[in-house]
Structure 1
Amino acid sequence: MTTNTPYRAIFCDLLTDHTIDILPLRDVTVDDYIGRAGSLSGTIPVANAEMAARVRRIEEGRTSVYLQRGKDLWWGGIIWTSTLQSDDKGILTLGIQAATFESYAGRRLIRAKTPEYDASYTLPFAGMDQLDIARGLWTDMQTSLDGGNILVTYGTETSGVTRTITYRDGDETSYQDALDSLAALEDGFEYHITVYTDPASGSRVRRLVLGHPKIETGATDLVLDRPGTVLSYSFPRDATRGGTTARARGASTNSDQASESRPLASTVAVADQLIGTGEGHAGYPRVDLTSDHNDTTDQNTLDALARTELAAATGAVVIPAISIRLDDLVPTALLGRTARIRITDEWFTEGLDARYRIIGVKVSPAQRGRPDTAELYLEEAA
């Protein structure tokens, strides 16, 4: 990306969101996903001492960056690492690597409010809607101790599903792990932090979006055709990530130090109708999956986790991807959108006409005459 592109890289203080500078950013790659952190990488050219002084104001771990096109914020996150580099011609650049604001929750641990270990300290959520618990985790992370507020705001979504869960000092559970474990439960939810410009105030907004059972946006399907908007596509099928049985292991519940401690384990969830060649069975072999949940000590929770994991990975895992021209589409608004994909070619001779939900976006900004393109990661729509 050169300085005359329609993009702006806006660098801000993480805790106040005050703008530090607007700097050119080249060789940009950026992606964003539902349920996990996205990333941004790029290089800032350092042409002279004046530019070097400006670039020095970027501090890893306390500077945020937004990618803006026109009036739309396309991406926002935290700069975690940088690399100052000089090539054999003496040309200086600073490479930056950033992750979306979700990544901050992975750097914070649930602890007591005092430095001393407090065995009696708990962060309890009893009989609460699971989306209220998700917001409660973010609220605790941002408000319980100084220096934790990264200005993420919340909505009022509800799921109708209640949970009871308690976190303790000394378990060193990250807020990210707590959120992911909660979302992964049977009849769970999805989350994503979106960034946008408030139309009334003009200020930037970091918003935690929650959806049960999934995040869905857009009132109508986005129609994408090949030939047409779709430039390329891939439909990978990976049986190494799939299975027909699943077991979830938790923490040990043994309090007797004199006896052997073994983890609690779920009942094995089995996709019976897929396994074997008998009547009514689909003819798949038995393939076993397992997962570890070291903070879980409840049998019912482990059983639910096993069922959920099997449902998500039954048979071969398929994550289709298509590459499109972005034109006037805004990447952040694509996540959760339902796309109607229509393809006619030598493989789909009768024509593919299927609906998918967009769960990830990888953007390649326009550069050297190449248009804006995006790779969309999909899952079958309900």
Structure 2
Amino acid sequence: MAVRYRYVFADLLTDQTIDDLPLSKVSFDHRINQPGTFAGGLPITNRRIARRLDRVIPADIDDLSAGPGRIVCHCLRDNGTRVDLWGTYWIWYAKTSQGRKGPPQVDLRGMSLDGYLASVEIQQNFIRYGTDRVTIARDLLTEAQALPYTGLGIAFASGTSGVLQDLIVAATDKANYGETVRKLAEQTNGFETHMDTYLADGQRRRELRWAFPKLGDVDGRHHEFSQPGNVLEWSQESDALRGGTRWRARGDSANNDLSAASGPQFSTPVEATAHLQAGWPRIDRTLDLQGEIDPSALKSYAAYWAATAAGAVRVHTATVRLDPATSLTPHRLGDYATLRLTNQRFPRRNGVASFVRSWRVIGMEIRPPERGNGIEEANLIFEELVA
């Protein structure tokens, strides 16, 4: 049976269902340590569609019962034997338009729920000394959802990483909860997060999954994709403007008097030694780490990026056809996938594929099947292994 999708719209805070819409040209993605994105559209072809759309995106601008900023879209996947929730996205943008031909059209954009947390500012001093990084992240998430009109019901599992640090965020820093959690994760000995939504006991659940040091079943089976076969497209990018050979991190002032003005602290530079010794030029990168005053933590942040983005950042992607019973789902982000390619660039050698690589999947963009194209596609983003 062909895979089918339903797009169910609900209230952001209460998750009370509003209606579902037959969207087209949908794509949505998941990423480790980053918010996922959503896009889709709907031609308004008749009055019935218009009435349903009006419940989700009111035509009356004075109707505050729904619309962008207040609603989420749940992407429900039915493979014929099981219904699964493959993503929930906060709808922040809608555009209704009509061209010279055809009916009016509404286009929607959204982001995963951790992206919403970047719209909630830390407006009171947040201070932790000698505290586990994961505990700090949990405290930030708890505090964010305890504020008026912010309770999303996002769970964050118990446990710790064993890595301690200080964190000071002043109310004057204009920092937000989402970015602060992300920067906690992106350090040497950091942890990983993924905004996951799923069905349990017939109810929709929201959880910011975390793991230290890595998400996914890193020692288990690999998901297999091959060309010819279910690999539809592939690419390899190298981008020196996203990398660097000399990294610094910039934090806040070490002055404990939050009312006094003073300059930010900088880490000592961390160099990509292997690249420089091989003849690469100096390419400077300075990264901001709001709220951090500990020189060792700043250097740890710089060292993380010097290791993961040394020289030119290489991005490996593959677009694959998903089977209805695929083992690789958004809930499995962080697992390994094995890619086997046979083409003019990588011909067969001794009767077997010359390109065989196994990488962690750190991002996946889903493109559901459409009328006229029954293929369900996933664009996989792989993590390049760093020595």
Note the aligned Cα RMSD (angstroms). 2.4
Aligned to 2:333: 335
Shift in Å at residue 262 of structure 1?
Answer: 4.2
Counterpart selection for 2:362 from 359, 362, 369: 359
Compare the two structures and name the one with the higher strand fraction: 1
Aligned to 2:153: 151
Q: Partner amino acid for 1:357?
A: R
Deviates more, 1:259-268 or 1:316-325: 259-268
What residue ranges of structure 2 are gaps of 5+ in the alignment? 57-66
* SS of the residue 1:139 aligns to: helix
Asked if 1:267 corresponds to 2:275, the answer is no
Aligned to 1:110: 122
Aligned to 1:172: 174
Q: How many residues align?
A: 360
| CA distance in structure 2 between the aligned counterparts of 1:23 and 1:7, rounded to whole angstroms | 10
Aligned to 1:289: 285
How much identity, in percent, do the aligned residues show? 33
| CA distance in structure 2 between the aligned counterparts of 1:160 and 1:299, rounded to whole angstroms | 19
Asked if 1:127 corresponds to 2:130, the answer is yes
Asked if 1:380 corresponds to 2:384, the answer is yes
What residue ranges of structure 1 are gaps of 5+ in the alignment? 113-121, 277-281
Aligned to 1:43: 41
Q: TM-score w.r.t. structure 1 length?
A: 0.87
Counterpart selection for 2:53 from 24, 43, 55: 55
Aligned to 2:63: none
Contact 2:250 2:289 in 1 (8 A): yes
Distance 1:134 1:294, change over 3 A: closer
What does residue range 152-231 of structure 1 map to in structure 2 within 5 Å?
152-198=154-200, 201-217=201-217, 219-231=220-232
Partner deviation per Cα, 1:70-104 (whole Å, 9 max, x = no partner):
10112211110101122334612221111111111
Q: Which runs of 4+ in 1 moved over 6 A?
A: none
* SS of the residue 1:160 aligns to: coil
| CA distance in structure 1 between the aligned counterparts of 2:210 and 2:186, rounded to whole angstroms | 13
Aligned to 2:308: 312
What does residue range 62-77 of structure 1 map to in structure 2 within 5 Å?
62-70=70-78, 71-77=83-89
| CA distance in structure 2 between the aligned counterparts of 1:44 and 1:309, rounded to whole angstroms | 41
Shift in Å at residue 288 of structure 1?
Answer: 2.4
* SS of the residue 2:375 aligns to: coil
Shift in Å at residue 50 of structure 1?
Answer: 3.9
Counterpart selection for 2:109 from 92, 97, 111: 97
Partner deviation per Cα, 1:191-232 (whole Å, 9 max, x = no partner):
11111111xx21011111012122123731112112222122
| CA distance in structure 2 between the aligned counterparts of 1:151 and 1:292, rounded to whole angstroms | 30
Contact 2:169 2:291 in 1 (8 A): no
Shift in Å at residue 35 of structure 1?
Answer: 1.0
Partner deviation per Cα, 1:291-326 (whole Å, 9 max, x = no partner):
233433332222212111111111221110001001
* SS of the residue 1:223 aligns to: strand
Shift in Å at residue 5 of structure 1?
Answer: 7.2
Distance 1:264 1:129, change over 3 A: closer
* SS of the residue 1:204 aligns to: strand
Shift in Å at residue 249 of structure 1?
Answer: 2.2
Shift in Å at residue 348 of structure 1?
Answer: 2.3
Partner deviation per Cα, 1:255-291 (whole Å, 9 max, x = no partner):
99xx995432211112333323xxxxx3333332222
Q: TM-score w.r.t. structure 2 length?
A: 0.86
| CA distance in structure 2 between the aligned counterparts of 1:286 and 1:178, rounded to whole angstroms | 29
Deviates more, 1:47-56 or 1:306-315: 47-56
Shift in Å at residue 253 of structure 1?
Answer: 4.6
